[in-house]
Every structure is written in C-alpha cells, then in structure tokens.
Chain A
C-alpha cells in the first residue's frame, strides 16, 4: 500500500514537473544536435587526414599500456620445460 502511494505521489510529481522535463529534453536535444554537427565536420576533416573521431585518446592509450603491463606481470612464465 505504501509502495502504491509512493507511485501515486511520484505520478503527481512527474505531472507537476513535466514542463520542466520537456524543456530539459528539448534543450539537450538542441545541444546534442550542435555537438553532432560539430563532430560531423570534425570527422569529415579527420577522414581526409586518415584519422577517425573514434580513435583512442592519449588517456586510453596510457591506460591500455598499464593494463597490458599488469597482465604481463600476472601471466605465468611460458619459458618452462616443454611438456
């Protein structure tokens, strides 16, 4: 019963703030469209330089390097006597 009342109260809350939610959604969509257009131009430019906007960032490269080193450190030695 308390759960049901909670849902009804949430329903009232969502109806009251629905204009705000719609406004946030609309603003985010406009912002997203600007981001899309900007990245579209950037991707076209990068395409002609032989790159892509989906390539790894320097942070990704560094993290992958560290993860590789950790994996190598944990890997069992493969130079043992042949079976």
Chain B
C-alpha cells in the first residue's frame, strides 16, 4: 500500500477510472457471452423439433443411428439458412462487378473503406489513433485524451456504390455468422444428446419394484 500513498491525487483518480473501465468491459463481455449462450440454446431446439418424434416412436434406437439422421437434418438446415445470405452476397458482388464494367472505374474498390474519398468511412467518425495524446502514468504511457478527429460523418453522393456494397456485404456476413453459430449449437446438442438419451443406466432400476409386481 505504500506506493499508493506516493501517487498524486490525479494519478489515484486515473487509477480508479481505469479499474472501473476494466470492470465494465469485463462485465460487458461476460453479459454478451451469457446472451450468446442463451441464443445458442434457443437455436439448438431445432434438433429437438426434428428428432424427438423419431426417438419417442422408437424408429431410432441407438446412438449411431441418431447421430446419422440428426447430422443429415442439420446439414439441410445449414443449406436453408446459408441460402439467402449467400444469394445476397452473390448479387452484391455482381452489382459491384457490373458497376465497374459499366463505369470503367476500378479505383472505387481501393477507396472502399476510405474516409476522404468515396469510401464507407465517410459515414463514420474516424479518429487519428496513431497520434493519440498520451501521458506517462506510473511509468506507463497511456492515452490521456481522445485522438484528433479525421472525419465527421457526411454523405458523399459519388460513394453510393460502396455504401450499397458494404452494407449488403455486412448484412450477409452477420447473417452467415448467426447461421454458423446455430450450426455449431445444433451440432453440439446432437453430440450431447446422442451420448445421453440411449444410455443404459442402473440408476433408474429398482429391483424391489420388479419383485413387488
């Protein structure tokens, strides 16, 4: 504790702010993780929908058969869920290709994410992170202020092809990621359930019950 006493008022305040920020970031990540797990549990229910009646009617009687049929149904769902985002992505690429073919302007690809030309960066705040103001705190060089602003959001009419392309590509990428997450969730549930629902356990058997009957 002795070194804390040597800290100035400003340094102590900074330390407290850093600690609060760290706790907030960790809590946020933890909450996001909990949320993702809940979403995955919801997505995994599709396995139950497709497989429960096959098990209850005893059409499927063992682990290997269960996994075989469940995997095939899982692949079908992957196909169905990947279809629309991949179609959107394909049309998006086609759109950009046609634009370049018609306008003959290939530079738009290099400018895709720029903030000072015809890129999507024009729609966002862009900070100069390379030149962020710093201060030395307890021997560490830490950011002390916001970096200089390079761009404030503004609409550039000439950048419309990049706006459309990046927006659609982002939507399909997120869609694909969610579909992949669902794929993982279902695969994990198939594996877990195949290990437990056909288990032959002595725990559920009470021989006295059979004698009484």
Contact = CB atoms under 8 A, between A and B. Distances in A.
Task: Check if A and B associate.
Answer: yes
Interface of A: 4, 6-15, 24-25, 28-29, 32-33, 35-36, 39-40, 43, 53-54, 57, 59-60, 62-63, 66-67
Contacts of B72: 57
Given A25-B181, A28-B180, A29-B176, A14 B30 contact: yes
Interface string B66-93: 0001001101101110110010000000
A28 B78 CA distance: 11
A43 B78 CA distance: 13
Contacts of B53: 63, 67
A32 B176 CA distance: 10
**Main secondary structure on chain B at its contact with chain A?**
helix
B25 interface: yes
Nearest to B58: A66
Contacts of A4: 27
Nearest to B60: A59
A7 B59 contact: no
B28 to A, nearest CB: 7
Contacts of A14: 29-30, 32-33
Contacts of B27: 4, 7-8, 11
